[in-house]
Amino acid sequence: MIQEKYFTVHQEQRLVAPYIQQWGRAPSIAVMDSSCKIFYSPEIDGIIGYRDEAGCVLVFGDPLCSPQDLPGLVALFHNHFAAQKRTIIYLLASEKFKKWASEHGYSQTALSMGDEIIVNPQVDPLSLCGKHASSLRNINSVINRVGVVFNEYRGKDLHIEHTMEKIGHQWVQNRKGPQTSLLHVDIFSNRANKRFFYAEYNKNIVGVFILNRLDAYQGWTINALVCAHGAPKYASEYMILQTLALLKKEQCQYFSFGTLPVSELRTLEGLGKISTFLAPYFFKASKKLFKLNTRKQYWQKFAPTIHPSYMLLHKRGIGIREVFGILRAFNVKI
């Protein structure tokens, strides 16, 4: 008989990272957060990372396994929590998994939730036409005149690591206003699956850029992008441009900026009449509160392609308990 089990990421981080690297998408890195639990079966090669909030089981991204192991792993997962009468919610699920889950009875409600922002590093954003490319060329010119230096960190220099970690912690503390986040900043956890970059100005580290490897796409995604207080304007754009140039030399064709909340509700499936009526108003308020348009405008400068992602529920409709659980899962701070 197949037995399902779980452990926390803190207990077995070394076992979680390879699944993210082999099968993950950008949202999958949220599974590395210490608040996550990991569901697995000793007889199926795969895991599902989730948070337990408000009586709901909230999964980040798609299950992390091969396509042939997906039916068995998902069946065990749903059977386990159905017996406990828990609501199962997938956050930032891919379009492919949405279709599969709907066809196999694991999703009765689906809403547009995010747009994954992806670029091909073989296309130099500085060489394109239009206002976004022109803006990036101006930024690149300004930063070069200021004298910011870009480096990849490969060694074990405790002073550099301490400085990078300090910048990450200060960035979190200095954030103001309503916030959401998938995971806490933990720069040097799971080193084997990451690349580390930093920017220097006047011989001081002023920016940190961390990537996670995604083998399923032979590419990378952003883990963290933070700048120190007082860093030159456009330091973050400069680090992105330098990283894309490096990945181009390495023949990489996939780089994900992660997933941003949707700018408009394109999919509303399985909701009741009242929820369907109220959803656009709730979304409009959230869009204004969290300044979603501003965040998307930042990434549009790099000429990305957009890949939709969804929130899926195994039952029809969304109640107060599910809304509260979703807010907790995204670490919403008002």
CA angle 25, 29, 35 (to 5 degrees): 140
Tens digit of pLDDT for each residue in 147-156?
999 999 998 8
Residue 327 has pLDDT above 60, yes or no: yes
Look at 155 and 307; give whichever has higher pLDDT.
Answer: 307
Q: What percent of the chain has pLDDT over 90?
A: 60
Residue 287 has pLDDT above 70, yes or no: no
Tens digit of pLDDT for each residue in 171-201?
877 765 444 555 556 788 778 889 999 999 9
Q: Specify the pLDDT at position 95.
A: 95
- The closest alpha carbon to 164, from 205, 192, 129, 216, belongs to 205
CATH code matching the domain that covers 118-258, chosen among 3.60.9.10, 2.30.30.140, 3.40.630.30, 1.10.10.10: 3.40.630.30
Contact 244, 120 (CB under 8 A): no
Q: Specify the pLDDT at position 123.
A: 96
Residue 205 has pLDDT above 80, yes or no: yes
The span from the CA of 59 to the CA of 30, in Å, is 10
Tens digit of pLDDT for each residue in 36-90?
899 988 889 999 999 999 889 999 999 999 999 999 999 999 999 988 889 999 9
Contact 37, 59 (CB under 8 A): no
Q: Specify the pLDDT at position 167.
A: 93
Over residues 162-166, mean pLDDT: 94
- The closest alpha carbon to 312, from 5, 14, 18, 105, belongs to 105
Residue 217 has pLDDT above 70, yes or no: yes
Q: Specify the pLDDT at position 175.
A: 66
Residue 93 has pLDDT above 50, yes or no: yes
Q: Specify the pLDDT at position 198.
A: 97
| pTM of this prediction exceeds 0.75 | yes
Tens digit of pLDDT for each residue in 223-258?
999 999 889 999 999 999 999 999 999 999 999 999
Q: Specify the pLDDT at position 2.
A: 44
Measured between alpha carbons, how far is residue 42 from residues 13, 16, 46, 194 in Å?
Answer: 17, 14, 9, 27
**Exposed, middle or buried: residue 144 (CB in 10 Å: 0-12, 13-18, 19+)?**
exposed
Domain(s) labelled CATH 3.40.630.30 in the chain stretch across 118-258
Residue 283 has pLDDT above 70, yes or no: no
Q: Whose structure tokens read 């030159």?
A: 232
- The closest alpha carbon to 255, from 211, 193, 319, belongs to 211
Average pLDDT, the chain: 86
The span from the CA of 198 to the CA of 326, in Å, is 33
Q: Specify the pLDDT at position 272.
A: 73
Q: Specify the pLDDT at position 8.
A: 57
For the domain spanning 5-116+266-329, the CATH number is: 3.40.630
Residue 221 has pLDDT above 70, yes or no: yes
